[in-house]
Amino acid sequence: MLINGKWKKNTNGDLYKSFNPSNHEALGSIEDTSKEDILEAIESAYIAFDSWSKSSPYERSKLLYNAWKNILENQNSLAKLMTLEQGKTFKSAKAEVKYAADFLLWYAEEAKRIDGKFISSEKSGQKFITQKTPVGVVGAITPWNYPISMITRKVAPALAAGCTIVLKPSEYTPLCAIETFKIIQEVGFPCGVINLITPLKPDDTGELFTSDSRISKLTFTGSTRVGRLLASKSGYNLKRVSLELGGHAPFIIFPDADPVHAAKGLSAIKFLNSGQACISPNRIFVHENIKEIFVKTLHERVKNIKVGNGLDDRSMMGPLINEESIFKIESQVKDALEKGAKLIFGGKKINPNSLRKGYFYSPTIITDIKPNMKIYREETFGPVAPIISYKESNEAIKMANDTEYGLAAYIYTKEISLAMRTMEKLNFAIIGINDVNPTSSAIPFGGMSNSGLGREGGQEGIEEYLETKSIGIMT
């Protein structure tokens, strides 16, 4: 654990292991943070906040800039560790480390742009000033599916704003967090500014982050169920909250679109990270006139996806994170097939000898999906492409909006006016128009409805960590 600038052991002596999802081999032993350790980390951040919040934005910017350089210099080693602990391919892991570094660079620059403004008054001799100030100590909880970039997406804006932070990573990927914090801490952040805790179970962390008066803000990325619970507890104590939760992204292919191009785009994003992404397309709406060629093209691409250990250069898709993920996917696929869906490809756990111990599931295509099937309603978080055909454009938009989630959506069409009309009608916060990668450190990321509160990334991301003071002056 990193507490008050020092790497230390826990107070209770308990350890747990981190495992490789490709073969279930143990990668290392992790300190199981106790409640007392969490309280010590919070106190450390609370004490450090006084001086850190008063530091120069240029000082904070320089440290973040150096952290950006450090992450890039360690890109390969971090990517290899991520592949071992999380499972994604080495190529994807390297891309994520670059993405993680982007947030450090972006907020190194944003730190110097925190400013207020003068506002005129209707009264003669009166002036108003607004000033931005850091919100305080931040409690952060990050997920396993993007175990490094989700850390910097929270740490970078918090530090740029002048906040201190206590971060809990997923118990499935603690080694990624430990190495990331080592690399960031190396640049010289003052003691107590960044703190890392690694409990096996999240209960004490959630309870303290939402109740301890020294924590001013909670930021969480994870499931909607847990997000609701944390938000309700934080709300009782009137803490600032930002939540990036689940998604159930529609992927609408209009009749004028090139079905081959759309199929290539879908295969690129749907099976990235084995489908374990909150913005992964989960409902593919294809116009009936182009369904056949779309499915044929998708099938040709998917059957060539080599599944295996992410460190194997030939692998194009790695394992799922755990056995629970396999069970969930199997349940959704079985339910769909029993209710009339058609299996085009895959639909099973992969069990060759070399992969027997890993959590591998074949990339899967299912057609004839209906609203009464679980996969139509539930987020899959796995490599399954459920295809739904439609006749009218308004029908596709209506079905796309038929969900409790509002994170990401995708549109394929050659007609710009149709794309813009559809974009305005879709109840989603992130929309890709002929674009399967509508994300960047420079733009806000977050969801509507049950997909979350607040935004991460872009100019909006730093606002989540700032308060606004209004000052009236009579001259």
CATH of residue 173: 3.40.605.10
The one catalytic residue in 40, 163, 278, 463 is: 278
95: which residues sit within 8 A by CB, 6+ positions away? none
Q: How confident is the model over 417-428, as a mean pLDDT?
A: 97
State percent of the chain over pLDDT 70.
Answer: 100
Residues 282 and 396 in one domain: yes
When divided into structural domains, the chain yields a total of: 2
Residues 200 and 263 in one domain: no
Alpha-helical runs (H) found in 115-245: 149-161, 174-185, 203-211, 224-236
Residues 260 and 239 in one domain: no
**pLDDT tens sequence across 185-240:** 999 999 999 999 999 999 999 999 999 999 999 999 999 999 999 999 999 999 99
Phi and psi at 273, nearest 5°, equal 55, 30
Residues 183 and 325 in one domain: no
Residue 352, judged by CB atoms within 10 A of its CB (0-12, 13-18, 19+), counts as: exposed
Run of H or E including 164: strand 164-168
Residues 285 and 411 in one domain: yes
Res. 356: pLDDT tops 80:
no
**pLDDT tens sequence across 241-258:** 999 999 999 999 999 999
**pLDDT tens sequence across 82-137:** 999 999 999 999 999 999 999 999 999 999 999 989 999 999 999 999 999 999 99
Residue 144 lies in a domain: yes
365 — pLDDT class (breaks 50, 70, 90): very high
Residues 241 and 283 in one domain: no
Phi and psi at 446, nearest 5°, equal 170, 180
Which token pair is 96?
Answer: 């994520």
355 — pLDDT class (breaks 50, 70, 90): confident
Q: How confident is the model over 444-471, as a mean pLDDT?
A: 97
Q: How confident is the model over 336-360, as a mean pLDDT?
A: 90
Q: In terms of Cα–Cα distance, which of 57, 47, 219, 161 is closest to 467?
A: 161
Say how far apart CA 431 and CA 418 lie, in whole Å.
14
**What's the pLDDT at 141?**
98
Which token pair is 202?
Answer: 């999240």
Residue 446 lies in a domain: no
Residues 387 and 261 in one domain: yes
Q: How confident is the model over 441-447, as a mean pLDDT?
A: 97
431: which residues sit within 8 A by CB, 6+ positions away? 408, 409, 410, 411, 423, 438
Residue 142 lies in a domain: yes
Range of the domain at 13: 2-245+451-474
DSSP code of 112? G
Average pLDDT score over the chain? 96
- With beta carbons less than 8 A apart as the criterion, state whether 320 and 361 touch: yes
Which token pair is 453?
Answer: 């509160």
Residue 445 lies in a domain: no
The one catalytic residue in 43, 96, 244, 379 is: 244
For residue 399, the cross-strand partners are: none
Please tell me the pTM assigned to this model.
Answer: 0.96
Residue 163 annotated among the catalytic residues of the structure = no
**What's the pLDDT at 238?**
94
Residues 230 and 114 in one domain: yes
Residues 36 and 145 in one domain: yes
Residues 237 and 257 in one domain: no
Residues 455 and 391 in one domain: no
DSSP code of 222? S
**What's the pLDDT at 257?**
97
CATH number for the domain including 299? Answer: 3.40.309.10
Run of H or E including 72: helix 57-73
Q: Where are the beta strands (DSSP E) in 210-275?
A: 215-221, 240-244, 249-253
- With beta carbons less than 8 A apart as the criterion, state whether 352 and 362 touch: no
State percent of the chain over pLDDT 90.
Answer: 97
Q: How confident is the model over 170-195, as a mean pLDDT?
A: 98
Residues 352 and 261 in one domain: yes
**What's the pLDDT at 192?**
98
**pLDDT tens sequence across 4-36:** 999 999 999 999 999 999 999 999 999 999 999
Res. 475: pLDDT tops 90:
no
Query: Around Cβ 340, how many Cβ atoms within 10 Å?
Result: 11
Residue 191 annotated among the catalytic residues of the structure = no
Indicate the range of 68-72, 230-234, 349-353 predicted with least confidence.
Answer: 349-353
**What's the pLDDT at 351?**
79
